[in-house]
């Protein structure tokens, strides 16, 4: 089983739920590592239904947003679905300002997101 340093991964039904370890997603090296771990779930482990739970995330930069866009691209390429949940209001606002809330399916609660797959 692959070792994850930046995320905690669990399976709930057919959905792979990913929780971020870091409260702040901004360091370039961390984002690279985070991206590698997320991409491995899609490209190596062939997970099709991915839910990112942001409950711990207090801060993220545009570099993290860019990584999420690339992840979404990879998930779609593999015929999967990527959804987001539990964004704090200030993180939600970042998605609204950048209009990425239109690109990603975002849910308030994990249970609601799980039911939507």
Partner 1 sequence: MPDNGWIWTLEQRIASDTGEGREVVSRILAALAAADWAEHDIFAVHLAMEEALVNAIKHGNHRDPSKTVEVTCRISKDRVQVQVTDEGAGFDPTLVPDPTDEENLEIPSGRGLMLMRCYMTSVQFNARGNQVSMEKLRTPPNGNGKATDE
Q: Which of 8, 11, 14, 90 binds partner 1 (CB under 8 A)?
A: 90
Examine residue 36 and tell whether it contacts partner 1 (CB under 8 A). no
CB of 64 to partner 1, least distance (A): 10
Detail the DSSP E strand segments found in the chain.
Answer: 7-12, 15-20, 24-25, 49-53, 59-60, 81-85, 105-107
Q: Does 26 participate in binding partner 1 (rule CB under 8 A)?
A: yes
Q: What is the DSSP string of 11-27?
A: EETTEEEEEES-SEE--
Position among 10, 46, 55, 62 found at the interface with partner 1 (CB under 8 A): 62
Q: Is 115 in the site for partner 1 (CB under 8 A)?
A: no
Alpha-carbon distance of 114 to 83, in angstroms, equals: 9
Contact between 33 and partner 1 by CB under 8 A: the answer reads no
Question: Burial level of 24, CB count in 10 A (0-12/13-18/19+)?
Answer: middle
Q: Report if residue 73 touches partner 1, rule: CB under 8 A.
A: yes
The footprint of partner 1 (CB under 8 A) covers 26-28, 59, 61-63, 65-67, 69-70, 72-73, 90, 93-94, 97-100, 102-103
């Amino acid at each position: 089983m692959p070792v994850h340093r930046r995320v905690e991964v669990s399976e709930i039904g057919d959905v792979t739920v990913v929780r971020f370890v870091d409260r702040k997603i901004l360091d370039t090296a961390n984002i690279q590592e985070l991206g590698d771990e997320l991409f491995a779930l899609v490209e190596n482990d062939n997970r099709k239904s991915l839910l990112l739970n942001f409950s711990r995330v207090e801060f993220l930069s545009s570099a993290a947003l860019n990584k999420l866009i690339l992840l979404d691209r990879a998930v779609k390429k593999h015929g999967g679905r990527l959804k987001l949940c539990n964004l704090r209001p200030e993180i939600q606002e970042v998605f609204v300002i950048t209009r990425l809330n239109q690109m990603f399916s975002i849910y308030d609660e994990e249970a609601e997101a799980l039911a939507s797959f």
